[in-house]
A and B are shown apart, each in its own frame.
Chain A
């Protein structure tokens, strides 16, 4: 039961993180919140027993893809119209 509660909690946080990442107007903030989203996803997979997938997501999703997004946004306009 405890694990199920944990699962539910992370799933709801995931939806919230996805909505926030798409709602904020500052693109750097959006990138960082997307990193949070990736890390929550990694937590969820570790909990489901997919350790290799969780490891990859922690390194790739929360690490490299956030860095690459931030690096690109620095070369673009930081503000978004929506």
Chain B
């Protein structure tokens, strides 16, 4: 088995190295990928079109908004699938694992987490809202927000975290995130544009066409952040307790 698997591995490796010698040099500004009209358009016109300094955010939420929307849907579907696979797979309180002990949550750890969690959550909002001018955005902010809930579940137990963010609420928030994203897209359709054509939102926002795109991107990022937060926490809650939603690590 192991010797046989080396045959496809080395075959693929030979072909890839053979192809790699034909690539443009690393960091060559004249390489086809970097010199293409699409990339040059994104770099040159982002400031004029949307007034967003961070090109990655502008391309992510505006120029390629359709792509990002369905990536968010993929995250949502993966979270739902984990729930569907693990729900009721074991009876509550039936099997006791070695790591499930009755010890009280540690005093030092819980008090430190009490201090840290608000800071983490504020940082998550900062990352989400500042995605336009610095690295960040909906995905990163959402993951950091989800991590703050995972930290609560790690230091107390899963029930404490679920009392603050129950699984039903999780799925509600995740669905709401996608609805916010799609809602902004459909709203711009009602205003006469195309799906996710944020510039049309200037009719309801008291700003110019460019700034309408700027602000609509923030709304879209909030939708992405909601979905990612909820799904990351739901993933941890289900996987750490085999779907029992009690005890945890």
Contacts and interface: CB of A to CB of B under 8 A. Distances in A.
- Direct touching of A and B (C-beta under 8 Å): yes
Contacts, number: 55
B144 interface: yes
B227 to A, nearest CB: 14
Interface string A38-78: 00000000000001101110011001100110111011000
Contact of B140 (A56, A71, A75): A56
Contacts of A70: 249
A67 B150 contact: yes
Contacts of A71: 236, 239-240, 248-249
Nearest to B55: A52
A52 B56 contact: yes
Interface string B50-64: 000010110000000
Contacts of B232: 64
Interface of A: 51-52, 54-56, 59-60, 63-64, 67-68, 70-72, 74-75
B97 A75 contact: yes
19 contacts: A52-B57, A52-B135, A52-B137, A55-B127, A55-B136, A59-B143, A59-B144, A60-B139, A60-B143, A64-B147, A64-B150, A64-B236, A67-B236, A68-B239, A71-B239, A71-B248, A71-B249, A74-B97, A75-B97
B135 A55 contact: yes
B146 interface: yes
B235 interface: yes
A52 B249 contact: no
A51 B135 contact: yes
A60 B137 CA distance: 13
B136 A63 contact: no
A74 B56 contact: no
A67 to B, nearest CB: 6
A64 B135 CA distance: 19
Contacts of B144: 59
Given A51-B135, A68-B236, A74-B240, A59 B147 contact: yes
B221 interface: no
A77 B186 CA distance: 48
A16 B248 CA distance: 33
Contacts of B236: 64, 67-68, 71
A64 B136 contact: no
Contacts of A64: 143, 146-147, 150, 232, 235-236
Contacts of A68: 235-236, 239
